[in-house]
């Protein structure tokens, strides 16, 4: 089993002068909102509503980018681009699966970071 590491949160720490209360609040909001937003994204993809899926991917992507989790944000960017441009939408499911492979591990890392600020 791999060891959970803290997220560096470099940009957030700089923006908020490393204020642990603010950082904990941001991480808490992420854990509250992103799972719901991610479920909506999966539903939109499942029903083939790519316009809504593109907007939802954009919203979720912004949350990951804020925390500096750029590999996850990049996958969401791909989903967003394909959905919004209605190009190669058949690849969205595999992108979503790729995102999902690290989803729980990243959530554990966020919780760990919040608990150890």
Tell if the pTM clears 0.85, that is, is over it: yes
Q: Alpha-carbon distance 82 to 3, whole Å? A: 34
Determine what percent of the chain falls in helix, strand and coil, rounding each to the nearest 5.
Answer: 80, 0, 20
pLDDT at residue number 2: 63
CA 96 to chain centre: 11
Q: Where are the domains of the chain?
A: 13-115
Interval 2-46: pLDDT, tens = 689 999 999 999 999 999 999 999 999 999 999 999 999 999 999
- Distance spanning both ends of the chain, measured CA to CA: 23
**What pLDDT, in 10s, does the model give residues 74-106?**
999 999 999 999 999 999 999 999 999 999 999
Q: Structurally, what CATH architecture does the domain formed by 13-115 represent?
A: Up-down Bundle (1.20)
């Amino acid at each position: 089993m791999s060891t959970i590491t803290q997220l560096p949160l470099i940009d957030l720490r700089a923006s908020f002068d490393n204020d642990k209360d603010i950082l904990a609040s941001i991480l808490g909001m992420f854990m509250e909102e992103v799972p719901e937003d991610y479920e909506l994204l999966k539903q939109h993809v499942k029903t083939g509503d790519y316009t809504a899926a593109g907007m939802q991917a954009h919203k979720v992507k912004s949350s990951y980018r804020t925390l500096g989790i750029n590999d996850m944000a990049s996958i969401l960017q791909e989903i967003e681009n394909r959905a919004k441009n209605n190009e190669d939408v058949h690849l969205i499911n595999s992108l979503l699966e790729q995102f999902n492979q690290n989803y729980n591990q990243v959530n554990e890392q966020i919780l760990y970071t919040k608990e150890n600020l």
